[in-house]
A and B are shown apart, each in its own frame.
Chain A
Amino acid sequence: MDEKLKDNWCPTIVAFLCNWCSYAGADLAGTSRLQYPPSIRIIRVPCSGRINPQYIIRALVDGADGVLVSGCHPGDCHYLTGNMYARRRFVVLKRLLDICGFEPERVQFTWVSASEGGRFAQVVESITDTVRKLGPALPGDMTAVSESNNRSESVTSVSLTDFDYRVQESKIRMLSEELLSSGKVDVVLGFREDTDDGAPVPLFARTREDLQKLVWNRHCWRNLSPYLKQLNGKAAIIAKPCDSRAIVNLLVENQLSRENIVIIGVECNGMLDLNDMPIRGCEGCPSKVPPVYDHAVASDGGNEFMGLPSPADQDNSNDTRTMRSVHERRARFLREIDKCILCYTCRQACPGCYCAACFTDRKMTNWHQADADLGEKIAFHLTRAMHLAGRCVSCGACENVCPSGVNLKYIYDGINDFINDQYGYRAGIDPEVPPAMSSYSTTDREIGFLGGERP
């Protein structure tokens, strides 16, 4: 955009204001005859805690140049804690936009009370100024797709030896037979060989004959945890660290009951595809050992995992992912979603995506339009990333199953690391700890808020 136009251009800013404080504050600004730019379009909501991050993403995709969200000051919420939950959500959303290369300054959060008419005028002044400097949202360089291959080739994971797998397999078989024949479980969820030389496929063993088909080898990459929800009765599951983490997350969210599951935890050093190349999703796996298990199958067949760091100690933060410039990050994100065909396979295979009706499927409010253009893809992937914030267990199922090879795990990992830094929570480690995004602390930092801390 040329400079002259930029000076005269007035951005469109959508403002979500809480009914009790900020909306009244805006009213006061009006009745006090305070001047502020005519750039904002106000939407009154009951509480800042009501604002689904999806509204903000949708506003940006549908043409808003900026979004302002304002609620009561922390401690003043009409509903006592609504803005406390909102605060975490907004901090994470800003981080997500940053990781994906969208200027986080377009989205501003602040607190304005009913008596702060003057502050409201200042806030509008400030965000209009910021957004004007940034120019229109989602401009022409949306299509600036870099040609470089983003995948790092340095995959360090080395699979266990054939011997290890045989030892593990016999141990798994022994345990499963015992569990089935003693009637402790009704079904054992494991792997069997694929008849077309593919990677082993899920086995639902209900009898001892079924167990004859059970295999365990270096190609057992499929994540079995999504199947647990559809099984009736008691089930035993052969759980790799990623499966186990996913189960922990489902337990935390009350989707499974612990007494119905027997977890046969298996040590795993990363799985390989059929060409013996490391599986995409295994890259950056946080641990080799399941965090929760009833029976342990170590690589030497032992009953305990020896000499391996426990998953909670492992430091997985990798800030190099976000070190690049905002344009490079955007180019990377756009290049990945350019491949997406919106088939939602990632969602179906994800152990964290268990909603009975996904927001994309709800046609009454058409949150997601059936138009595979870039905006829709951005809306889908950003919203999904927000839904999985602090819930993703880095199992990599989304990357492993994508028919188009969309690799977006780096976003989820980046958000996970951020949440771990800020709130000390990592999904899928401890079933007793409440999830980060549905809890709050009065001392949560307000990173990137208007008048708050700088990132």
Chain B
Amino acid sequence: MKAIEITLSSFIEGIGLLLENYSVLAPVRYDGILDFRWIDDPLKIELGGQLPYKSPKEALFPRVEPIIRFEKDGITDACHEKPMIVVGVKPCDIASINMLDIIFSEKNNKFDDPFYKRRRKNLITIGIECTQKSRGCFCEELGIDRSFSDGCDAFISVNGDKLIINILNPEAGSVFSGFDGRPVESMASASKEDDHIRPDFAEDRPSTPQYSTDPDHDAKLDISADERDLFDSIPWNIYSESCLGCGTCTYVCPTCHCFEFRDVEKDGVVTRNRCWDSCMYPKFTLHASGHNPRPTQKERFRQRVLHKYLYLKRNCSIIACTGCGRCIRSCPGGVNIHRTVKDIISRIEAQDRKGAVE
């Protein structure tokens, strides 16, 4: 495996050269808030700080994605085709991209998402090691290695004042040809090279989740119970009581992926957009008849927790939470999914013990 040692300034310079052919999504500070934004000035990139406010899923699954356009002369494809690079993705966010790959792919889920697939093919991911924890993050408990991840096309390790770019996907490696660095021995061990999986959508994918890079780190946050039991035995309203139903958690979440389609008409052209939906909204799963199977915030909150921790484990063998803590930091009501899941697990254990005694 190839690796390049490079100074930060040459790296930034190199990214600047790529701007000509690629759209670059990178962490930049805007009015004091570090966030992933499409950049036009590479000097603004901030690597290695805390976790950006929102997740990099914007590149693959944007807030609003035009799918097709209807015009008088016919229907045109509105999908995004420009090659993209996302820079400065921390291991938790790399894991989230790998999870979205699984969720949106036919192989592990039942459906193959053509819009996601097209964007994914055009995306090069450049990861970076996590040197600074953010408040409320708990990725270790979900088996994420903060120092290395091979789920991306290239991974940057920080070595003193130098960066080492480990090129994990030789095809994507060509983007670094213009970078002013010197080749070095890769930080990643050679043994990993054989079994590493390129995050190419078309590639075969193992059934086990790819993000558990370290076998010692087994997921500790694991709800193992039948959902029908959990519906009634867990007092969901005590968790959802301080939830305002704003949906920020789902907007900043790197793995939330519910969406709806909406048609927008402007100047005689109708665009069909795929937009984010959120299980926190009252209109989520509202039927045309007026019936809603999740009428109150309690049921909607239950949906959010169990979707991440139970349903996707059953359907795609992943726990769709990376422990990035974004929802915890951004929640206006102070709802904490980490604490909630821990509490649920301890309640299940207590019930099991009680059941065993009886």
Contacts of B334 in A (CB 8 A): 194, 198-202, 222
Contacts of B265 in A (CB 8 A): 369
Contacts of A371 in B (CB 8 A): 64, 262, 264, 266, 271, 273
A222 to B335, CA, bound (A): 12
With both beta carbons as reference points, the residue of chain A lying nearest to B58 in the complex is identified as: A341
Does A32 sit within 8 A of B, measured CB to CB?
no
Does B176 sit within 8 A of A, measured CB to CB?
no
Among B199-207, B224-232, B239-247, B348-356, the stretch in contact with A: B239-247
Contacts of A339 in B (CB 8 A): 30-31, 33
Asked if A149 and B245 sit within 8 Å, CB to CB, the answer is: no
Asked if A403 and B264 sit within 8 Å, CB to CB, the answer is: no
Does A85 sit within 8 A of B, measured CB to CB?
no
Contacts of B32 in A (CB 8 A): 149, 151, 405
Contact residues, A357-389 vs B (CB, 8 A): 357, 361, 363, 369-372
A370 to B63, CA, bound (A): 9
With both beta carbons as reference points, the residue of chain A lying nearest to B267 in the complex is identified as: A63
Does A343 sit within 8 A of B, measured CB to CB?
yes
Q: Mark each residue of chain A from 137 to 161: 1 if its CB lies under 8 Å from any CB of chain B, else 0.
A: 0000000000001110000000000
Asked if A202 and B251 sit within 8 Å, CB to CB, the answer is: no
Contacts of B336 in A (CB 8 A): 194-196, 198, 201
Contacts of A226 in B (CB 8 A): 244
Does B83 sit within 8 A of A, measured CB to CB?
no
Does A274 sit within 8 A of B, measured CB to CB?
yes
Contact residues, B305-327 vs A (CB, 8 A): 325
Known: A198-B135, A343-B247. A403 touches B252 (CB 8 A): yes
Min CB distance A359 to B, Å, is 13
Asked if A349 and B246 sit within 8 Å, CB to CB, the answer is: yes
Does A345 sit within 8 A of B, measured CB to CB?
yes
Contacts of A55 in B (CB 8 A): none
A403 to B54, CA, bound (A): 8
Asked if B251 and A341 sit within 8 Å, CB to CB, the answer is: yes
Q: Mark each residue of chain B from 246 to 275: 1 if its CB lies under 8 Å from any CB of chain A, else 0.
A: 111001100000001010111100010101
Asked if A401 and B283 sit within 8 Å, CB to CB, the answer is: no
Contact of B333 among A150, A222, A405 (CB under 8 A): A222
Contact of B135 among A62, A196, A201, A403 (CB under 8 A): A196
Does A227 sit within 8 A of B, measured CB to CB?
yes
Min CB distance B4 to A, Å, is 33
Best-surrounded residue of A151, A197, A200, A343 (most CB of chain B within 10 A): A343
Asked if A345 and B246 sit within 8 Å, CB to CB, the answer is: yes
Does B332 sit within 8 A of A, measured CB to CB?
yes
Does B48 sit within 8 A of A, measured CB to CB?
no
Does A412 sit within 8 A of B, measured CB to CB?
no
Does B330 sit within 8 A of A, measured CB to CB?
yes
Asked if B247 and A344 sit within 8 Å, CB to CB, the answer is: yes
Contacts of A404 in B (CB 8 A): 33, 35, 53-54
A196 to B30, CA, bound (A): 26
Contacts of A62 in B (CB 8 A): 266
Min CB distance B62 to A, Å, is 9
Contacts of B282 in A (CB 8 A): 357, 361
With both beta carbons as reference points, the residue of chain A lying nearest to B137 in the complex is identified as: A196
Does A114 sit within 8 A of B, measured CB to CB?
no
Contact of A405 among B33, B283, B325 (CB under 8 A): B33
Asked if A204 and B264 sit within 8 Å, CB to CB, the answer is: no
Known: A198-B328, A204-B241. A343 touches B246 (CB 8 A): yes
Min CB distance B57 to A, Å, is 12
Min CB distance B146 to A, Å, is 17
A150 to B30, CA, bound (A): 12
Contacts of A274 in B (CB 8 A): 135
A67 to B345, CA, bound (A): 59
With both beta carbons as reference points, the residue of chain B lying nearest to A149 in the complex is identified as: B31
Asked if A370 and B64 sit within 8 Å, CB to CB, the answer is: yes
A405 to B262, CA, bound (A): 27
Does B339 sit within 8 A of A, measured CB to CB?
yes
Known: A196-B135, A371-B64, A403-B252. A345 touches B332 (CB 8 A): yes
Min CB distance B354 to A, Å, is 21
Contact of B332 among A151, A194, A349 (CB under 8 A): A349
Known: A348-B245, A361-B282. A400 touches B332 (CB 8 A): yes
Does B329 sit within 8 A of A, measured CB to CB?
yes
A46 to B20, CA, bound (A): 56
Min CB distance B36 to A, Å, is 11
Known: A195-B339, A274-B135. A397 touches B332 (CB 8 A): yes
A200 to B332, CA, bound (A): 11
Does A342 sit within 8 A of B, measured CB to CB?
yes
Contact of B244 among A198, A348, A363 (CB under 8 A): A348
Asked if B338 and A196 sit within 8 Å, CB to CB, the answer is: yes
Does B16 sit within 8 A of A, measured CB to CB?
no
Contacts of A204 in B (CB 8 A): 241-242
A349 to B201, CA, bound (A): 39
Asked if A403 and B248 sit within 8 Å, CB to CB, the answer is: yes
Best-surrounded residue of A199, A226, A348, A400 (most CB of chain B within 10 A): A348
Does B14 sit within 8 A of A, measured CB to CB?
no
Asked if B31 and A202 sit within 8 Å, CB to CB, the answer is: no
Contacts of A196 in B (CB 8 A): 135-136, 325, 328, 336, 338-339
Contacts of B275 in A (CB 8 A): 370
Min CB distance B246 to A, Å, is 3
With both beta carbons as reference points, the residue of chain B lying nearest to A341 in the complex is identified as: B63
Contacts of A348 in B (CB 8 A): 244-247, 332
Best-surrounded residue of A63, A227, A369, A405 (most CB of chain B within 10 A): A369
Asked if B33 and A370 sit within 8 Å, CB to CB, the answer is: no
Contacts of B262 in A (CB 8 A): 369-371
Asked if B53 and A403 sit within 8 Å, CB to CB, the answer is: yes
With both beta carbons as reference points, the residue of chain B lying nearest to A227 in the complex is identified as: B242
Contact residues, B57-89 vs A (CB, 8 A): 63-64
Contacts of B283 in A (CB 8 A): 361, 363
Contacts of A345 in B (CB 8 A): 246-248, 251, 332
Contact of B248 among A222, A343, A361, A370 (CB under 8 A): A343
Asked if B31 and A405 sit within 8 Å, CB to CB, the answer is: yes
Contact residues, B17-67 vs A (CB, 8 A): 30-33, 35, 53-54, 63-64
Contacts of A407 in B (CB 8 A): 31
A197 to B264, CA, bound (A): 43
Contacts of B63 in A (CB 8 A): 341-342, 372
CB-defined A-B contacts under 8 Å, sample of 11 = A195-B336, A198-B328, A202-B242, A357-B282, A370-B275, A371-B264, A372-B64, A403-B251, A404-B33, A405-B32, A407-B31
Q: Interface residues, chain B, CB within 8 Å of chain A?
A: 30-33, 35, 53-54, 63-64, 135-136, 241-242, 244-248, 251-252, 260, 262, 264-267, 271, 273, 275, 281-283, 325, 328-330, 332-336, 338-339
15 new A-B contacts at CB < 8 Å, known A222-B333, A341-B54, A348-B247: A63-B267, A149-B32, A151-B31, A151-B32, A194-B336, A202-B242, A202-B334, A345-B246, A345-B332, A361-B281, A369-B264, A370-B273, A370-B275, A371-B273, A404-B54
Q: Which 8 A-B pairs have the closest CB atoms?
A: A201-B334, A348-B246, A401-B332, A370-B262, A202-B242, A345-B246, A405-B33, A196-B136
